[in-house]
Structure 1
Amino acid sequence: MSFERPTLKEIIERLDGDTQSRLSVPQMRRSNAKVFDRVLAGAAHSLYGYIEYLNRQQFFDTAESDYLDRWASIYGLTRKKATKASGEVIFRFSADLVNIPEGTILQSDDGIQYKTTGPTASNGSTSVEALNEGISGNQLEDDVLTLVSPISGVYSEVTIIKLGGGSEAEADESLRARLLSRVRETPHGGTESDYVQWALEVPGVTRAWAFPKEEGEGTVTVRFVCDGMDEIIPDKAMLDKVFEHIDKLRPVTAHLYVSAPKVRPVNITIAGLLPDDAEVREAVRQELKDLFAREGVPGQRIYLSHIRAAISAALGEEDHSVVFPTADPVPETNNELPTLGEISWQ
């Protein structure tokens, strides 16, 4: 039988019973002994909690924080650090070209700041990097940054050519999933699972898939997404990062292709939801979102039965009917990733 941690109330009752068994007369209602019992019970309850915490750290699937990092390091894995967004912008000039000093500060509309990191090219472009790490530094192409301090002969608005690659530090669940995958699937020097694990080592990558021989004999195509970013489809900066990382590890005889999947939204129509209120609808939406994150694979179907099961698993849901889709949604090519589209209610 497994050990069950006693509750605080159970510990107090035990101590009260032990104390009473050693006294010749019943305790008074306001006895000091009862106070001591509760103080000792609180200390014992804390110790039980610490022992329970240490017990969780003994196993891969429950270890946390520093202990999880320690387990991962034994298998050659490290937690992915947060990274800064970087890219290229283009300046405009009122007259002749002005050389923009390195370290010039630019700022987005939402207050995220960047600095220039390279010389100014003849077309006015230069490289930039976010001052802080994280996905907040990623910006869309053709968005505008503004000079924090004006420069003579330079317009204050700067156009983004590309600016991405920023990511948050890896969460425990992501590192734990990589560790379990590493333990269960031993590296073999270039198998399909190796390419997936190599891609997942890059900060910002959350899901990855490998497709051997898609471009012919001796080729491997890797596709991945970045669920932690505003847009899960990776930009060119992320594609380059993953290619460079895998290129250092792959067998020299393999031809590597790294590409972004195309999103194939799957719209769902639900009728007769019971009870039909905002809380249950949101719970259904979250369950469906989790389903597509777990089972969404480029080129592979999402089972209609799993869609129904995910809706049934929503907190508070009692009954429903799926009007659409009427069959398993199946992508047309290996490049299409099924994702949750619009949910309609009837």
Structure 2
Amino acid sequence: MFENMTFENILEQMLDDVSDELDKREGSMIWNSLAPAASQLALHYVWLENVIELVFFDTAPDEYLERAAKPYGVLRKGATTAVRSLKCLDDKQIRIEVPIGSRFFVESANLYFRVTDSSSETEYQKVECESLGLAGNTDFKGEKLLALDNIYGLATAEIVDVLIPAQDEEDIESFRKRFFVKLQKEAFSGNKEHYKAWAEEVKGVGKAKIYPLAYGDGTVKIVIANSNLEPATAELVAEVKKYIDPDERQGEGAAPIGSKVYVESATWIDIDITGELVLKEGKNINDVIFDITPTLQRLFKEATFADGDSSTIKLAVIANVIFSAPSVLDNFNIMLNGNLGNVTPNENEIPRIGQINFTLL
């Protein structure tokens, strides 16, 4: 918009307003007097261009988009901590319970975990990572923990499952997209978008689908996937239920009075891929699987809980991913789940890579 308002152009305009009877050459008194002002004006036009970018929602950077979205009730999701299950054994390999607040250290990841509950109603105790972000989701299977407290009878401790996955701070473009959804599909008074927003506000929830009147008048079914777009654990399902409708129909949570909420986890659907390949020299099938897996995982996540045709896993797209792999020269008879056609997951299913079986030509 202000691309023509450069130092040179501004100075030229200023000199044009001065009589030609005076010395306006570079280095003259007039030129030296006007040049600093022209420089400052050019700088202000640069800032003005930036200010315009800051105030429009489609171009506003981090801090300014957060400030713009806040009055609409949309807050950027911050980084969260992982909640895991903890297995503690004595020297006879019998499970024991450790005191709440006990701390453990994972040396390989340089992470600390703190016990947050007793195990009176569950097989394992819960621990929460003391560091924010995805590092808390790391697989520590088989790795022994270092206890930072003196715990009577403890021989070994091991972190097992991820109950509520951690997430990094929401990236700016995902936040912008969610903000636009809020503006375009206004959530209010307990409508579908409101229930979706409530569910996705809960720590560890990635996406939610809403089914009004699923089990009769006054009922709402919410199906959730975790922040990794995987099926949710029973603990995460319980957290969503507690936040939205802890005391059924009483309006004690986010849901209005009279609304009975059912929360369920999504389920997996495996996508098996078969076909015939011609490989480039020196390549093998493991190379192909290594090449295509990241792209397939990204496509499947994009299809999770997507609207309409976007949720369909398209055979042509998968075949093109395989054909484009650096290790593949050509491909034939690519099939998904044994069929020469697309795969459309059911409403509550999350696609994931199943068996990959290729034969070489």
Tell me the amino acid that sits aligned with residue 338 of structure 1.
Answer: P
Contact 1:292 1:338 in 2 (8 A): yes
Residue 178 (1) aligns with residue 172 (2) = no
Counterpart Cα distance in 1 of 2:291 and 2:212: 38
Residue 52 (1) aligns with residue 52 (2) = no
Aligned position for 2:223: 223
Q: TM-score, normalised by structure 1?
A: 0.69
Contact 1:233 1:260 in 2 (8 A): yes
Identify the range of structure 1 (81-90 vs 148-157) with the bigger mean alpha-carbon deviation. Answer: 148-157
Q: 1:236 to 1:173 in 2, by over 3 A?
A: farther
| 3-state SS in 2 of match to 1:173 | helix
Aligned position for 2:341: 327
Contact 1:107 1:145 in 2 (8 A): no
Tell me the amino acid that sits aligned with residue 128 of structure 1.
Answer: V
Q: 1:177 to 1:240 in 2, by over 3 A?
A: farther
| 3-state SS in 2 of match to 1:206 | strand
Residue 253 (1) aligns with residue 250 (2) = no
Aligned position for 1:132: 131
Aligned position for 1:113: 112
Aligned counterpart in structure 1 of residue 58 of structure 2, from 56, 61, 64 = 61
Tell me the amino acid that sits aligned with residue 336 of structure 1.
Answer: E
Tell me the amino acid that sits aligned with residue 236 of structure 1.
Answer: A
Residue 82 (1) aligns with residue 95 (2) = no
How far the C-alpha of 1:146 sits from its partner, in A, is: 0.9
Tell me the amino acid that sits aligned with residue 132 of structure 1.
Answer: S
Residue 14 (1) aligns with residue 9 (2) = yes
Tell me the amino acid that sits aligned with residue 197 of structure 1.
Answer: A
How far the C-alpha of 1:305 sits from its partner, in A, is: 8.7
Tell me the amino acid that sits aligned with residue 305 of structure 2.
Answer: V
Q: 1:93 to 1:308 in 2, by over 3 A?
A: closer
Q: What is the CA deviation profile of residues 45-77 of structure 1, one whole-angstrom value per residue up to 9, with x for unaligned ones?
A: 543343233223333333332322222221223
Aligned position for 1:205: 205
How far the C-alpha of 1:259 sits from its partner, in A, is: 1.0
Aligned counterpart in structure 1 of residue 270 of structure 2, from 264, 270, 274 = 264
Q: CA RMSD in A?
A: 5.0
Q: TM-score, normalised by structure 2?
A: 0.67
**Sequence identity percentage:** 20
Tell me the amino acid that sits aligned with residue 50 of structure 1.
Answer: W
Aligned counterpart in structure 1 of residue 312 of structure 2, from 302, 305, 325 = 302
Counterpart Cα distance in 2 of 1:124 and 1:336: 28
Aligned position for 2:351: 338
Q: 1:179 to 1:219 in 2, by over 3 A?
A: same
Q: What is the CA deviation profile of residues 9-67 of structure 1, one whole-angstrom value per residue up to 9, with x for unaligned ones?
A: x7244256457756767957x99999999977775554334323322333333333232
Counterpart Cα distance in 2 of 1:268 and 1:20: 74
Q: 1:48 to 1:111 in 2, by over 3 A?
A: same
Q: What is the CA deviation profile of residues 64-103 of structure 1, one whole-angstrom value per residue up to 9, with x for unaligned ones?
A: 3232222222122322232222244232223799874543
| 3-state SS in 2 of match to 1:180 | helix
Contact 1:298 1:334 in 2 (8 A): no
Q: 1:68 to 1:125 in 2, by over 3 A?
A: same
Tell me the amino acid that sits aligned with residue 59 of structure 1.
Answer: F
* Gapped regions of structure 2 (runs ≥ 5): 246-252, 280-288, 325-329
Q: 1:287 to 1:4 in 2, by over 3 A?
A: farther
How far the C-alpha of 1:329 sits from its partner, in A, is: 2.0
Contact 1:91 1:154 in 2 (8 A): no
How far the C-alpha of 1:147 sits from its partner, in A, is: 2.0
Tell me the amino acid that sits aligned with residue 83 of structure 1.
Answer: T
Aligned counterpart in structure 2 of residue 239 of structure 1, from 237, 240, 251 = 237
Q: What is the CA deviation profile of residues 223-267 of structure 1, one whole-angstrom value per residue up to 9, with x for unaligned ones?
A: 33345x4x7443333333323223222343333122133143364
Residue 167 (1) aligns with residue 167 (2) = yes
Tell me the amino acid that sits aligned with residue 194 of structure 2.
Answer: D
| 3-state SS in 2 of match to 1:262 | strand
Tell me the amino acid that sits aligned with residue 6 of structure 2.
Answer: I
Q: Which runs of 4+ in 1 moved over 6 A?
A: 23-26, 30-42, 95-99, 268-273, 281-288, 308-311, 340-346
| 3-state SS in 1 of match to 2:344 | coil
Identify the range of structure 1 (258-267 vs 38-47) with the bigger mean alpha-carbon deviation. Answer: 38-47
